[in-house]
Amino acid sequence: MERIIRVTSDSINEERSRALAFLIELVQSAKKEFSFSSPVFKDIVIAPELNDHALGFFNDKYLLIVINESVMELDLATRNNILIHELAHALDYAITGTLSGHSPFFRHICQCLGIDEGFDKSKLKQSLIDMHKKHERIEKLIALSSSPFENEAMQALKKARDLMLSNTSTTAVANEEKLYFAPIYSSGRTPHYITCILSFVSEATGVFIVRSKHDDQNCSTCYGKFEQVEFALYLFDFILASADSEVKKNRKNGIKITKDSFIIGALPEMRKQLSNTSADTVHALMKIKNENMLLSKKLVFTKARLRTKKYTSSVNDGKSFDIGKKFGAKIDIPKKIDIKILT
Protein backbone atom coordinates (compact mmCIF):
# COMPACT_ATOMS: atom_id res chain seq x y z
CA MET A 1 0.00 0.00 0.00
CA GLU A 2 1.51 3.31 -1.13
CA ARG A 3 0.89 6.02 1.46
CA ILE A 4 0.99 9.03 -0.87
CA ILE A 5 -1.35 11.83 0.17
CA ARG A 6 -3.30 12.98 -2.89
CA VAL A 7 -5.31 16.11 -3.60
CA THR A 8 -8.39 16.67 -5.70
CA SER A 9 -10.66 19.53 -6.75
CA ASP A 10 -12.83 20.33 -9.76
CA SER A 11 -9.96 21.94 -11.70
CA ILE A 12 -7.40 19.33 -10.57
CA ASN A 13 -9.72 16.51 -11.70
CA GLU A 14 -10.07 18.22 -15.07
CA GLU A 15 -6.30 18.75 -15.44
CA ARG A 16 -5.53 15.18 -14.36
CA SER A 17 -7.87 13.80 -17.06
CA ARG A 18 -6.18 16.02 -19.66
CA ALA A 19 -2.71 14.96 -18.46
CA LEU A 20 -3.63 11.26 -18.64
CA ALA A 21 -4.85 11.61 -22.22
CA PHE A 22 -1.72 13.61 -23.11
CA LEU A 23 0.66 10.97 -21.68
CA ILE A 24 -1.23 8.01 -23.15
CA GLU A 25 -0.90 9.59 -26.59
CA LEU A 26 2.85 10.11 -26.01
CA VAL A 27 3.28 6.46 -24.95
CA GLN A 28 1.63 5.33 -28.18
CA SER A 29 4.02 7.47 -30.24
CA ALA A 30 7.00 6.23 -28.18
CA LYS A 31 6.20 2.63 -29.22
CA LYS A 32 7.20 3.58 -32.77
CA GLU A 33 10.60 4.78 -31.58
CA PHE A 34 11.50 2.36 -28.77
CA SER A 35 11.06 -1.35 -28.11
CA PHE A 36 9.34 -2.24 -24.83
CA SER A 37 6.52 -4.49 -23.62
CA SER A 38 6.37 -3.55 -19.93
CA PRO A 39 3.63 -1.16 -18.77
CA VAL A 40 4.98 2.40 -18.63
CA PHE A 41 2.82 3.91 -15.88
CA LYS A 42 -0.49 3.10 -14.17
CA ASP A 43 -1.71 6.46 -12.94
CA ILE A 44 -0.99 10.14 -12.38
CA VAL A 45 -1.09 11.28 -8.75
CA ILE A 46 -1.40 14.94 -7.77
CA ALA A 47 0.22 15.27 -4.35
CA PRO A 48 0.92 18.10 -1.88
CA GLU A 49 4.09 19.06 -0.06
CA LEU A 50 6.59 16.98 -2.05
CA ASN A 51 10.00 16.86 -0.37
CA ASP A 52 12.32 19.76 -1.17
CA HIS A 53 9.68 21.44 -3.36
CA ALA A 54 10.07 18.71 -6.01
CA LEU A 55 7.98 19.30 -9.12
CA GLY A 56 7.31 15.60 -9.51
CA PHE A 57 8.85 12.13 -9.60
CA PHE A 58 8.29 8.65 -11.00
CA ASN A 59 7.53 5.91 -8.47
CA ASP A 60 8.95 2.73 -10.03
CA LYS A 61 7.50 0.42 -7.36
CA TYR A 62 3.88 1.30 -8.14
CA LEU A 63 4.43 2.82 -11.63
CA LEU A 64 3.00 6.16 -10.56
CA ILE A 65 3.80 9.58 -12.00
CA VAL A 66 3.52 11.92 -9.02
CA ILE A 67 3.11 15.66 -9.64
CA ASN A 68 3.31 18.48 -7.09
CA GLU A 69 -0.10 20.16 -6.73
CA SER A 70 1.58 23.57 -7.13
CA VAL A 71 2.37 22.60 -10.73
CA MET A 72 -1.37 22.91 -11.42
CA GLU A 73 -0.96 26.69 -11.10
CA LEU A 74 1.61 26.90 -13.91
CA ASP A 75 0.91 27.52 -17.61
CA LEU A 76 -0.01 24.66 -19.96
CA ALA A 77 3.34 24.47 -21.78
CA THR A 78 5.23 24.22 -18.48
CA ARG A 79 2.88 21.56 -17.14
CA ASN A 80 3.35 19.51 -20.31
CA ASN A 81 7.15 19.77 -20.07
CA ILE A 82 7.04 18.49 -16.48
CA LEU A 83 4.77 15.59 -17.52
CA ILE A 84 7.11 14.72 -20.40
CA HIS A 85 10.11 14.80 -18.04
CA GLU A 86 8.49 12.32 -15.61
CA LEU A 87 7.16 10.14 -18.44
CA ALA A 88 10.74 9.93 -19.79
CA HIS A 89 11.81 8.47 -16.42
CA ALA A 90 8.93 5.96 -16.67
CA LEU A 91 9.89 5.00 -20.23
CA ASP A 92 13.54 4.68 -19.24
CA TYR A 93 12.46 2.19 -16.55
CA ALA A 94 10.12 0.29 -18.93
CA ILE A 95 12.84 -0.03 -21.60
CA THR A 96 15.96 -0.69 -19.48
CA GLY A 97 14.51 -2.02 -16.22
CA THR A 98 16.42 0.63 -14.25
CA LEU A 99 16.22 4.34 -13.52
CA SER A 100 19.34 5.86 -15.08
CA GLY A 101 18.75 9.37 -13.78
CA HIS A 102 19.40 12.20 -16.24
CA SER A 103 21.58 10.04 -18.47
CA PRO A 104 22.17 10.64 -22.20
CA PHE A 105 19.54 7.96 -22.95
CA PHE A 106 17.03 9.71 -20.67
CA ARG A 107 17.69 13.03 -22.44
CA HIS A 108 17.23 11.27 -25.79
CA ILE A 109 13.82 10.02 -24.64
CA CYS A 110 12.87 13.58 -23.59
CA GLN A 111 13.80 14.89 -27.06
CA CYS A 112 11.83 12.13 -28.80
CA LEU A 113 8.78 12.97 -26.67
CA GLY A 114 9.02 16.60 -27.74
CA ILE A 115 10.17 18.38 -24.60
CA ASP A 116 10.89 22.09 -25.18
CA GLU A 117 14.55 22.83 -25.83
CA GLY A 118 16.18 24.46 -22.82
CA PHE A 119 13.57 23.21 -20.33
CA ASP A 120 15.25 23.25 -16.91
CA LYS A 121 13.50 21.72 -13.90
CA SER A 122 15.96 23.28 -11.43
CA LYS A 123 15.17 26.83 -12.58
CA LEU A 124 11.46 26.08 -12.60
CA LYS A 125 11.74 24.67 -9.09
CA GLN A 126 13.10 28.03 -7.87
CA SER A 127 10.24 29.88 -9.56
CA LEU A 128 7.81 27.56 -7.77
CA ILE A 129 9.45 28.41 -4.44
CA ASP A 130 9.11 32.11 -5.31
CA MET A 131 5.43 31.56 -6.13
CA HIS A 132 4.89 29.95 -2.69
CA LYS A 133 6.49 32.97 -1.06
CA LYS A 134 4.16 35.24 -3.04
CA HIS A 135 1.10 33.29 -1.82
CA GLU A 136 2.33 33.56 1.78
CA ARG A 137 2.92 37.31 1.31
CA ILE A 138 -0.63 37.77 -0.03
CA GLU A 139 -2.10 35.90 2.95
CA LYS A 140 -0.14 38.06 5.42
CA LEU A 141 -1.21 41.28 3.68
CA ILE A 142 -4.86 40.21 3.67
CA ALA A 143 -4.58 39.54 7.41
CA LEU A 144 -3.05 42.99 7.91
CA SER A 145 -5.89 44.61 5.94
CA SER A 146 -8.16 44.04 8.94
CA SER A 147 -5.89 46.23 11.10
CA PRO A 148 -7.72 48.84 13.23
CA PHE A 149 -5.28 51.44 11.88
CA GLU A 150 -6.96 52.68 8.71
CA ASN A 151 -3.80 53.75 6.84
CA GLU A 152 -1.98 50.46 7.57
CA ALA A 153 -5.05 48.46 6.52
CA MET A 154 -5.45 50.32 3.22
CA GLN A 155 -1.74 49.98 2.35
CA ALA A 156 -1.81 46.24 3.09
CA LEU A 157 -4.96 45.78 1.00
CA LYS A 158 -3.44 47.68 -1.92
CA LYS A 159 -0.23 45.59 -1.83
CA ALA A 160 -2.24 42.36 -1.63
CA ARG A 161 -4.35 43.44 -4.60
CA ASP A 162 -1.25 44.30 -6.66
CA LEU A 163 0.31 40.90 -5.89
CA MET A 164 -2.89 39.06 -6.81
CA LEU A 165 -3.22 41.00 -10.07
CA SER A 166 0.34 39.99 -10.99
CA ASN A 167 -0.68 36.40 -10.26
CA THR A 168 -4.16 36.27 -11.79
CA SER A 169 -3.68 32.90 -13.47
CA THR A 170 -2.94 31.15 -10.19
CA THR A 171 -5.16 32.88 -7.63
CA ALA A 172 -8.39 31.07 -8.54
CA VAL A 173 -6.69 27.65 -8.45
CA ALA A 174 -4.89 28.39 -5.18
CA ASN A 175 -8.12 29.44 -3.46
CA GLU A 176 -10.22 26.59 -4.87
CA GLU A 177 -11.90 24.13 -2.52
CA LYS A 178 -9.58 21.12 -2.27
CA LEU A 179 -9.82 17.69 -0.68
CA TYR A 180 -6.82 15.61 0.39
CA PHE A 181 -6.89 11.84 0.81
CA ALA A 182 -4.67 8.81 1.40
CA PRO A 183 -5.05 5.08 2.05
CA ILE A 184 -4.77 4.47 5.78
CA TYR A 185 -5.15 0.66 5.96
CA SER A 186 -5.39 -2.15 3.41
CA SER A 187 -5.71 -5.93 3.71
CA GLY A 188 -7.66 -8.89 2.37
CA ARG A 189 -9.85 -8.78 5.48
CA THR A 190 -10.18 -5.89 7.89
CA PRO A 191 -10.05 -7.17 11.50
CA HIS A 192 -12.65 -5.78 13.89
CA TYR A 193 -10.01 -4.14 16.10
CA ILE A 194 -8.71 -2.21 13.07
CA THR A 195 -12.25 -0.98 12.33
CA CYS A 196 -12.47 0.22 15.95
CA ILE A 197 -9.14 2.10 15.73
CA LEU A 198 -10.17 3.70 12.43
CA SER A 199 -13.42 4.90 14.01
CA PHE A 200 -11.48 6.52 16.85
CA VAL A 201 -9.00 8.14 14.44
CA SER A 202 -11.93 9.67 12.55
CA GLU A 203 -13.33 11.07 15.80
CA ALA A 204 -9.96 12.40 16.93
CA THR A 205 -8.90 14.11 13.71
CA GLY A 206 -12.11 14.91 11.83
CA VAL A 207 -11.21 12.90 8.70
CA PHE A 208 -13.95 11.07 6.81
CA ILE A 209 -13.00 7.41 6.31
CA VAL A 210 -14.42 5.23 3.55
CA ARG A 211 -13.80 1.51 3.00
CA SER A 212 -13.82 0.13 -0.53
CA LYS A 213 -12.65 -3.01 -2.31
CA HIS A 214 -9.91 -3.05 -4.97
CA ASP A 215 -8.29 -6.20 -6.38
CA ASP A 216 -9.51 -8.40 -3.50
CA GLN A 217 -8.16 -5.88 -0.98
CA ASN A 218 -10.28 -3.94 1.51
CA CYS A 219 -8.84 -0.43 1.51
CA SER A 220 -9.76 2.25 4.05
CA THR A 221 -9.08 5.79 2.83
CA CYS A 222 -9.24 9.00 4.85
CA TYR A 223 -10.41 12.33 3.42
CA GLY A 224 -9.97 15.86 4.77
CA LYS A 225 -7.62 18.84 4.82
CA PHE A 226 -3.92 18.11 4.33
CA GLU A 227 -3.01 18.47 8.04
CA GLN A 228 -5.97 16.31 9.10
CA VAL A 229 -5.05 13.48 6.73
CA GLU A 230 -1.37 13.74 7.69
CA PHE A 231 -2.15 13.44 11.40
CA ALA A 232 -4.78 10.72 10.86
CA LEU A 233 -2.09 8.54 9.27
CA TYR A 234 0.29 9.36 12.11
CA LEU A 235 -2.30 8.69 14.84
CA PHE A 236 -3.44 5.38 13.33
CA ASP A 237 0.16 4.14 13.09
CA PHE A 238 0.90 5.41 16.61
CA ILE A 239 -2.08 3.62 18.21
CA LEU A 240 -1.58 0.41 16.22
CA ALA A 241 2.15 0.23 17.01
CA SER A 242 1.54 0.99 20.72
CA ALA A 243 -1.24 -1.63 20.94
CA ASP A 244 0.85 -4.27 19.13
CA SER A 245 3.75 -3.61 21.48
CA GLU A 246 1.49 -3.98 24.56
CA VAL A 247 -0.09 -7.19 23.26
CA LYS A 248 3.32 -8.63 22.39
CA LYS A 249 4.65 -7.79 25.85
CA ASN A 250 1.72 -9.55 27.56
CA ARG A 251 1.98 -12.60 25.34
CA LYS A 252 5.71 -12.80 26.08
CA ASN A 253 4.78 -12.92 29.77
CA GLY A 254 2.49 -15.90 29.11
CA ILE A 255 -0.80 -13.96 29.09
CA LYS A 256 -3.22 -14.96 26.34
CA ILE A 257 -4.71 -11.84 24.81
CA THR A 258 -7.35 -11.21 22.15
CA LYS A 259 -6.80 -8.07 20.09
CA ASP A 260 -10.50 -7.37 19.48
CA SER A 261 -11.36 -7.44 23.19
CA PHE A 262 -8.15 -5.56 24.04
CA ILE A 263 -8.99 -2.63 21.71
CA ILE A 264 -12.68 -2.62 22.74
CA GLY A 265 -11.46 -2.14 26.30
CA ALA A 266 -8.98 0.57 25.33
CA LEU A 267 -11.25 2.79 23.22
CA PRO A 268 -13.58 4.16 25.95
CA GLU A 269 -10.53 5.27 27.96
CA MET A 270 -8.98 6.85 24.87
CA ARG A 271 -12.26 8.66 24.15
CA LYS A 272 -12.17 10.04 27.69
CA GLN A 273 -8.81 11.60 26.91
CA LEU A 274 -10.27 13.14 23.77
CA SER A 275 -13.37 14.49 25.54
CA ASN A 276 -11.21 15.92 28.33
CA THR A 277 -9.69 18.42 25.88
CA SER A 278 -12.94 20.47 25.87
CA ALA A 279 -16.53 20.19 24.70
CA ASP A 280 -15.81 22.85 22.06
CA THR A 281 -13.01 20.74 20.60
CA VAL A 282 -15.18 17.62 20.35
CA HIS A 283 -18.00 19.64 18.76
CA ALA A 284 -15.55 21.23 16.30
CA LEU A 285 -14.16 17.82 15.32
CA MET A 286 -17.68 16.52 14.61
CA LYS A 287 -18.35 19.59 12.45
CA ILE A 288 -15.05 19.10 10.58
CA LYS A 289 -15.84 15.43 9.92
CA ASN A 290 -19.27 16.34 8.51
CA GLU A 291 -17.72 19.02 6.25
CA ASN A 292 -15.16 16.49 4.99
CA MET A 293 -17.93 13.97 4.32
CA LEU A 294 -19.94 16.49 2.26
CA LEU A 295 -16.86 17.60 0.29
CA SER A 296 -15.92 13.95 -0.38
CA LYS A 297 -19.38 13.27 -1.78
CA LYS A 298 -19.13 16.38 -3.96
CA LEU A 299 -15.63 15.80 -5.38
CA VAL A 300 -15.00 12.04 -5.21
CA PHE A 301 -18.17 10.02 -4.71
CA THR A 302 -20.41 11.92 -7.10
CA LYS A 303 -21.71 8.73 -8.74
CA ALA A 304 -21.10 6.27 -5.91
CA ARG A 305 -23.56 5.26 -3.25
CA LEU A 306 -22.06 5.37 0.21
CA ARG A 307 -23.51 3.06 2.85
CA THR A 308 -23.11 3.43 6.59
CA LYS A 309 -22.51 0.11 8.29
CA LYS A 310 -22.95 -0.34 12.02
CA TYR A 311 -20.55 -2.65 13.83
CA THR A 312 -21.41 -4.29 17.13
CA SER A 313 -18.64 -4.83 19.65
CA SER A 314 -18.83 -7.87 21.89
CA VAL A 315 -16.25 -8.80 24.49
CA ASN A 316 -15.19 -12.43 24.22
CA ASP A 317 -12.24 -12.17 26.59
CA GLY A 318 -12.74 -10.24 29.83
CA LYS A 319 -9.04 -10.36 30.76
CA SER A 320 -8.00 -8.87 27.43
CA PHE A 321 -10.68 -6.18 27.87
CA ASP A 322 -9.31 -5.21 31.32
CA ILE A 323 -5.72 -5.09 30.04
CA GLY A 324 -6.90 -2.94 27.13
CA LYS A 325 -8.73 -0.62 29.51
CA LYS A 326 -5.54 0.01 31.47
CA PHE A 327 -3.64 0.52 28.22
CA GLY A 328 -6.22 3.06 26.96
CA ALA A 329 -6.00 5.04 30.18
CA LYS A 330 -2.21 5.37 30.07
CA ILE A 331 -1.50 5.76 26.33
CA ASP A 332 -0.28 9.28 25.65
CA ILE A 333 -2.38 10.45 22.69
CA PRO A 334 -0.54 13.36 21.06
CA LYS A 335 -2.42 16.57 21.90
CA LYS A 336 -0.87 18.43 18.96
CA ILE A 337 -3.44 16.78 16.69
CA ASP A 338 -6.33 18.74 18.21
CA ILE A 339 -4.33 21.95 18.29
CA LYS A 340 -3.12 21.88 14.69
CA ILE A 341 -6.33 20.96 12.87
CA LEU A 342 -8.37 23.61 14.68
CA THR A 343 -6.04 26.53 13.95
Chain segment 58-112, per-residue pLDDT in tens: 999 999 999 998 888 888 998 999 999 999 999 999 999 999 899 999 999 999 9
Residue that terminates a domain, selected from 81, 99, 118: 118
- Is the pLDDT score of 137 beyond 60? no
Residues 226 and 328 occupy one common structural domain: yes
The answer to whether 89 and 106 are in contact (CB under 8 A) is: yes
Q: pLDDT tens across 32-47, in order?
A: 999 898 999 999 999 9
User: By residue range, what is the domain housing residue 186?
Assistant: 181-341
Residues 56 and 166 occupy one common structural domain: no
Which is higher by pLDDT, 340 or 10? Answer: 10
Residue 152 lies in a domain: yes
pLDDT of residue 25: 96
Residues 169 and 195 occupy one common structural domain: no
Top mean-pLDDT range of 60-64, 87-91, 158-162, 275-279: 87-91
pTM: 0.77
Residues 162 and 278 occupy one common structural domain: no
Residue 87 lies in a domain: yes
Who's near 145: CB < 8 A, 6+ residues apart? 153, 154, 156, 157, 160
Residues 194 and 79 occupy one common structural domain: no
- Is the pLDDT score of 169 beyond 50? no
- Is the pLDDT score of 138 beyond 60? no
- Is the pLDDT score of 128 beyond 70? no
In this prediction, residues 235-248 reach a mean pLDDT of: 93
Residues 140 and 272 occupy one common structural domain: no
Residues 212 and 314 occupy one common structural domain: yes
Q: Kindly report which listed range (10-24, 98-112, 116-130, 232-246) carries the lowest average pLDDT score.
A: 116-130
Residue 292 lies in a domain: yes
- Is the pLDDT score of 337 beyond 50? no
- Is the pLDDT score of 262 beyond 60? yes
Residues 97 and 132 occupy one common structural domain: no
- Is the pLDDT score of 133 beyond 50? yes
Residues 134 and 200 occupy one common structural domain: no
Q: Is 340 exposed, middle or buried (0-12, 13-18, 19+ CB in 10 A)?
A: middle
**What are the angstrom distances between the C-alpha of 95 and each of 53, 105, 110, 246?**
28, 11, 14, 48
pLDDT of residue 250: 94
% the chain with pLDDT above 90: 51
User: Across the chain, what does the average pLDDT equal?
Assistant: 82
Residue 13 CB neighbour total at 10 angstroms: 14
Q: pLDDT tens across 196-233, in order?
A: 999 999 988 899 999 988 778 899 999 999 888 988 99
Residues 159 and 186 occupy one common structural domain: no
Q: pLDDT tens across 71-82, in order?
A: 888 889 989 999
Report the relative pairing of strands 64-68 and 43-47 from DSSP bridges.
parallel
Residue 1 lies in a domain: no
- Is the pLDDT score of 150 beyond 70? no
* Total domains in the fold of the chain: 3
Residues 236 and 220 occupy one common structural domain: yes
User: What CATH number has the domain bearing residue 79?
Assistant: 3.30.2010.10
Residues 128 and 112 occupy one common structural domain: no
14-21 long-range contacts, CB within 8 A, separation 24+: 15/46, 15/72, 15/79, 16/44, 16/46, 19/44, 19/67, 19/79, 19/83, 20/44
